């Protein structure tokens, strides 16, 4: 008999109460131009609502899970601090969450992390250690620091408190946009989509949850979430995709996979040009800053694969209410500054 899921609706509601004094309730934006683009050749009208986690503290959804995790540490654990390994938004989010309650945060960052995310770690007071850009090196370095300091490991996604914190996105979204028919969520390690799926399905079993996954720029597309769903088992032997969506290169974990398996209705894979097009639309039409990983949900909504999903519905002519999570807005502008010597 399998253990219960790491996130449930009740646990997510508890997480919302816990983080409410700290995390923002992020806004929902709409754009009629994007409504028409998604609806084109989809069989009927579409209304798209964007959950703007770009406005969350730290510029991404990760603060929710990090804050929920640090708030559940014992006094003894707080004294020794926390440690994680992350190349992206979780690193800054944990550093900020730790600073919020006054504890040390040791952040292991692999080579190649975007400069804007390194700057955030420094700004939030994280104690940074660099390592090679491989999962074994990340884990080994974090393990060494954990042994030396006694810090508590708060992983980027495969942790019940982290998943439940991210699930508060789903609670808010369902309240802000009643009657959502489908929610599109970018996926990597699965912490966000697992939490959102647990919340959404707990509130409305009929609301579809669809993962949006980059397949990379190589001639051999890599999409392990799509492969896992298709095969009904966790596929973990694929290399990470070569993608501009730097926040979406992780793999599903032991805690996130069972929720994705049981509560996510499908996976849409997107290409690099589709991600860039989605970013451009968000910039030009919505006037919002979004990083490549954050634009993957819209890229999926605009894809022929998703439009086929809409056409296959029982009443394709009815208005479909689509929710898209814009999960982060930390764009690395360092190359631009260097080019123009700003």
pLDDT in tens, 61-76: 999 999 999 999 999 9
Q: Chain centroid to CA 67: how far?
A: 15
Domains, the chain, in order of start with CATH, read: 9-60+159-336 (3.40.50.1100), 61-153 (3.40.50.1100)
pLDDT of residue 239: 81
* Exposure letters 224-244 (e unless 16+ CB within 10 A, then b): bbbbbbeeeebbeebebbebb
d(CA 156, CA 159): 8
Helices 160-176 & 191-203 angle (0-180, nearest 10): 50
For the beta carbon of residue 74, count every other beta carbon within 10 angstroms: 9
DSSP 121-185: HHHTT-EEEEE-SSHHHHHHHHHHHHHHH-PEE--SSSSHHHHHHHHHHHHHHHHHSTT--EEEE
For the beta carbon of residue 154, count every other beta carbon within 10 angstroms: 25
Phi-psi region of 47 (alpha: psi -120 to 50; beta: other; left: phi over 0): beta
pTM of the model: 0.94
d(CA 84, CA 88): 11
> Which residues make Cβ contacts (< 8 Å) with residue 250, sequence separation at least 6?
156, 157, 188, 189, 240
- pLDDT exceeds cutoff 80 at 102: yes
pLDDT in tens, 241-288: 888 888 888 889 999 999 999 999 999 999 999 999 999 999 999 999
Using pLDDT thresholds of 50, 70 and 90, give the confidence band for residue 221: low
CA end-to-end distance (rounded Å), the chain: 59
CA distances from 104 to 84, 122, 150 (A): 12, 12, 11
Token pair 């400069």 in the structure block, residue: 115
CA distances from 196 to 51, 117, 187, 207 (A): 12, 24, 11, 11
Q: Does the annotation mark 87 as catalytic?
A: yes
- pLDDT exceeds cutoff 80 at 183: yes
pLDDT of residue 340: 57
Stretch 15-36: mean pLDDT: 98
d(CA 297, CA 196): 14
d(CA 57, CA 146): 26
d(CA 118, CA 96): 13
Q: Does the annotation mark 341 as catalytic?
A: no
Catalytic residue among 62, 117, 201, 251: 62
Phi-psi region of 81 (alpha: psi -120 to 50; beta: other; left: phi over 0): left
Catalytic residue among 49, 86, 87, 160: 87
pLDDT of residue 219: 55
**105-110 and 82-85: which strand pairing?**
parallel
Question: In this predicted structure, which of 113-117, 119-123, 179-183, 210-214 has the lowest mean pLDDT?
Answer: 113-117
Using pLDDT thresholds of 50, 70 and 90, give the confidence band for residue 222: low
Stretch 293-317: mean pLDDT: 91
Using pLDDT thresholds of 50, 70 and 90, give the confidence band for residue 195: very high
Higher pLDDT, 225 or 219: 225
- pLDDT exceeds cutoff 90 at 25: yes
- pLDDT exceeds cutoff 90 at 110: no
pLDDT of residue 240: 81
DSSP 37-103: HHHTTSSS-EEEEEEEGGGSGGGBTHHHHHHHHHTT--HHHHHH-EEEE-SSHHHHHHHHHHHHHT-
Are 20 and 61 in contact, with CB atoms under 8 Å apart? no
């Amino acid at each position: 008999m399998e253990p219960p899921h790491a996130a449930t609706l009740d646990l997510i509601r508890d997480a919302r109460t816990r983080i409410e004094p700290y995390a923002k309730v992020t806004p929902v934006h709409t754009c009629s131009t994007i409504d028409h683009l998604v609806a084109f050749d989809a069989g009927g009208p579409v209304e798209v609502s964007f959950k703007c986690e770009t406005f969350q503290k730290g510029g991404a959804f990760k603060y929710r899970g990090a804050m929920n995790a640090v708030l559940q540490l014992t006094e003894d654990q707080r004294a020794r601090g926390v440690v994680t390994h992350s190349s992206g938004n979780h690193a800054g989010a944990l550093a900020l969450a730790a600073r919020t309650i006054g504890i040390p945060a040791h952040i292991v960052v692999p080579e190649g992390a975007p400069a804007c995310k390194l700057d955030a770690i420094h700004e939030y007071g994280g104690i940074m250690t660099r390592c090679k850009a491989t999962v074994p090196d990340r884990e080994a370095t974090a393990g060494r620091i954990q042994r030396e300091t006694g810090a508590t490991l708060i992983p980027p996604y495969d942790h019940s408190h982290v998943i439940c914190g991210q699930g508060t996105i789903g609670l808010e979204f369902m309240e802000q946009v009643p009657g959502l028919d489908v929610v599109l969520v970018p996926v990597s390690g699965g912490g966000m989509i697992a939490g959102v799926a647990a919340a959404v399905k707990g509130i409305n079993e009929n609301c579809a949850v669809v993962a949006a996954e980059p397949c990379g720029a190589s001639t051999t597309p890599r999409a392990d979430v799509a492969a896992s769903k298709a095969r009904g088992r966790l596929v973990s032997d694929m290399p990470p995709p070569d993608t501009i969506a730097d926040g979406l290169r992780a793999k599903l974990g032991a805690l996130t996979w069972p929720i994705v398996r049981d509560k996510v209705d499908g996976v849409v894979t997107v290409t690099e040009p589709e991600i860039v097009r989605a970013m451009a639309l968000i910039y030009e039409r919505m006037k919002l800053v979004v990083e490549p990983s954050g634009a993957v949900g819209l890229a999926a909504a605009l894809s022929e694969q998703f439009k086929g999903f809409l056409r296959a519905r029982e009443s394709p002519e009815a208005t479909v209410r689509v929710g898209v999570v814009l999960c982060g807005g930390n764009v690395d502008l360092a190359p631009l500054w260097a080019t123009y010597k700003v």
